[in-house]
């Protein structure tokens, strides 16, 4: 399990992202003021007070394994905790997704196609972490529909069917998360239903 000896605002926000919560719901979950959560997000290098450190320790301890794994991934990324005024390489996360056409169907979905889907899911999460999800919802929804339609045509390597459905379920979960953050609750519910239908196949 990832152990944090001294929490920073960046660590605290990484836990929020892993829990897939808004600032308000995260504040309520931790029992702190929403402005505290907003301050962590705005100042990733700040060190919270000892009482907040203890609250964050408890929240991480009781988090599900999936959340702990996502948190460990996020805090291991280069630049975690970097101040907004510090220089960093100019690179748009998710640039591969932006350069791809989410409406393009593969003639045949092979292992390369599956790897591309998984890579784009990672890129969507990276874009959301940096810029927020509101502007990503429509693009990500179109990308999900493309994958869903690809599965519907049956033009894929049959040995990859479970993995493709698993990737579709993961993508539906991510789109649902983005939709929830964008307060598009009907879409969030539909994506949760899609996620369930993909995972039970």
pLDDT tier at 177, thresholds 50, 70, 90: confident
Segment among 16-25, 42-51, 85-94, 151-160 with least mean pLDDT = 85-94
Between 172 and 103, the more confident residue is: 172
At residue 131, the pLDDT reads 63
Listed residue (40, 124, 122, 133) closest to 81, CA to CA? 40
Strand partners, 156: 109
Domain ranges of the chain: 9-75, 95-199
Q: Cα angle at 198 between 73 and 179, to 5 degrees?
A: 60
Answer yes or no: are the C-beta atoms of 165 and 198 closer than 8 Å.
Answer: yes
pLDDT of residue 198: 66
Residue 182 vs residue 56, higher pLDDT: 56
Higher pLDDT among residues 194 and 29, named by residue: 29
Distance CA 46, CA 192 (A): 35
- 195: its two tokens: 């996620």
Residue of 17, 43, 11 whose CA lies nearest to 181:
17
Start-to-end Cα distance in the chain: 31
What does the pLDDT read at residue 102?
A: 47
- Who has greater pLDDT, 34 or 115? 34
What does the pLDDT read at residue 42?
A: 87
Per-residue pLDDT tens digits for 71-127: 988 888 665 544 333 333 333 344 454 444 444 556 677 888 788 888 878 878 777
């Amino acid at each position: 399990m990832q152990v944090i000896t001294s929490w920073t605002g960046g660590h605290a926000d990484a836990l929020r992202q892993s829990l897939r919560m808004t600032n308000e719901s995260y504040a309520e979950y931790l029992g702190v003021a929403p402005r505290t959560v907003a301050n962590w997000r705005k100042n990733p290098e700040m060190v919270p007070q000892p009482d907040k450190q203890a609250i964050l320790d408890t929240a991480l301890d009781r988090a599900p394994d999936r959340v702990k794994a996502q948190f460990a991934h996020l805090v291991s990324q280069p630049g975690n905790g970097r101040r907004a005024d510090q220089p960093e390489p100019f690179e748009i996360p998710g640039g591969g997704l932006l350069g791809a056409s989410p409406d393009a169907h593969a003639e045949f979905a092979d292992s390369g196609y599956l790897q591309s889907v998984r890579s784009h899911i990672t890129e969507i999460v990276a874009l959301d972490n940096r810029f927020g999800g509101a502007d990503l919802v429509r693009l990500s929804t179109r990308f999900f529909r493309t994958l869903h339609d690809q599965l519907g045509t049956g033009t894929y390597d049959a040995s990859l069917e479970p993995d493709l459905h698993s990737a579709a379920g993961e993508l539906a979960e991510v789109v649902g998360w983005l939709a929830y953050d964008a307060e598009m609750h009907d879409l969030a519910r539909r994506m949760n239903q899609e996620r369930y239908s993909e995972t039970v196949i």
